[in-house]
Structure 1
Amino acid sequence: MTEVTFRQATIADVKSLLRIENAVFSSPWTEKAFRNEFYTNEYAHYIVAEQEEAIIGYAGVWMILDEGHITNVAIHPNQQGNGYGRALLAELIHIAQENNVTKITLEVRISNTKAQQLYQKFGFKNGAIRKKYYPDNQEDALVMWVEL
């Protein structure tokens, strides 16, 4: 595994985040959505994973009091399968814990068993189903949660 470093994302990273978002997700966020996260969502915290000064992934969490909600975890497809997603998620959870977050939730596509398995490795448990959560194909989302 080539060394990957992490840092807080900034508004200057939006183009890189969009590149990854569009490569990974069938219903990607827009530039406007990312700008909103950086400029108006006081609870949002995003980090990027860099390899040789290139952004290869990013993750975000909303931290509200002692609760966290993971919004996105994405590694560019060219870099998947190298353990970077696990490292990125570990860093995000570490940051949440440093900010006194004790519980984290997220939604994941029912069909995305690869992501579900990753979350389970961090102790996430299955919760509710959000029916027709994803707008591109009306797929259900599995809500997962963990107490830190």
Structure 2
Amino acid sequence: MKNIKQWLADKLPKHTHTFPLPIADRVELKHNFFALDDQNFLTVHIATEEDIEAIISIEQLCYSGQTPWNRSALLHEIRYNKNAFYIVVTDDQTPVAFLGTWFVSEEAHITNIATIPAYESKGIATFLITELKRIALSEAIKIISLEVRISNQRAQRLYRKMKFENGRIKKGYYINDHEDALEMAMILGE
């Protein structure tokens, strides 16, 4: 059997094409910290499997105990989805915010962005989206997209301030309560 494998290896063409590393392994953050107005600093990093519990705790605090992305979904995203990466923000060891995204073709799609209530209105979401935009531009991405609840006017105002534009409405998009979602997108390079 060993001789057959060697013979095949000698006869088959050598592949010189290398596939790009998963996006989470390629990207680098410009800043590993975020300064709050009170001069305290938050730590920022690309998520690994060790951050799954932190992301779940943020979801629970932001979504009334619910976890839109459960442990197995997050594990799949971080371990196997080569087009996905997450950024996590912590205060000392306390998880306070995260952003999840997929890079597909020329689009970066924000799958989730959340900041725990005690840290809202401190610029963390703006920082995360700005960092995502910088990374997206370095990867030749042309658009950043997301869906947002129709009722979440506060988030919509933030996204519009950051140059996201309204798209179509997705009827009954959210599984738990069937609320509609508004698609929004930011065109990069304009």
TM-score (norm 2): 0.73
Cα distance in 1 between the residues matched to 2:69 and 2:41:
28
Report the more deviating stretch, 73-82 or 15-24: 73-82
Are 2:137 and 1:97 equivalent residues in the alignment?
A: yes
Q: Which residue pairs with 1:21 in the alignment?
A: 59
Cα distance in 1 between the residues matched to 2:147 and 2:89:
21
Are 2:54 and 1:11 equivalent residues in the alignment?
A: no
- The RMSD of aligned alpha carbons is 1.4
Q: Which residue pairs with 1:69 in the alignment?
A: 109
Amino acid at match of 1:3: F
Q: Which residue pairs with 1:79 in the alignment?
A: 119
* Length, aligned pairs only: 148
Q: Which residue pairs with 1:139 in the alignment?
A: 179
Identity of aligned residues (%): 39
Cα distance in 1 between the residues matched to 2:153 and 2:167:
15
Cα distance in 2 between the residues matched to 1:118 and 1:25:
19
Deviation at 1:53, TM superposition (A): 4.0
Cα distance in 1 between the residues matched to 2:128 and 2:109:
15
Q: Which residue pairs with 2:20 in the alignment?
A: none
Cα distance in 1 between the residues matched to 2:135 and 2:94:
22
Amino acid at match of 2:57: R
1:110-129 to 2 correspondence within 5 Å?
110-129=150-169
Are 2:77 and 1:41 equivalent residues in the alignment?
A: no
Cα distance in 2 between the residues matched to 1:22 and 1:53:
17
Instruction: Kindly name which structure, 1 or 2, has the bigger radius of gyration based on alpha carbons.
Output: 2
Greater relative CO, 1 or 2 (CA 8 Å, sep 6+): 1
Unpaired stretches in structure 2, ≥5 consecutive residues:
1-35
Q: Which runs of 4+ in 1 moved over 3 A?
A: none
Cα distance in 2 between the residues matched to 1:89 and 1:54:
21
Cα distance in 1 between the residues matched to 2:86 and 2:136:
11
Q: Which residue pairs with 1:50 in the alignment?
A: 90
Contact (CA 8 Å) 2:57, 2:95: kept in 1 or not? no
Cα distance in 2 between the residues matched to 1:16 and 1:5:
13
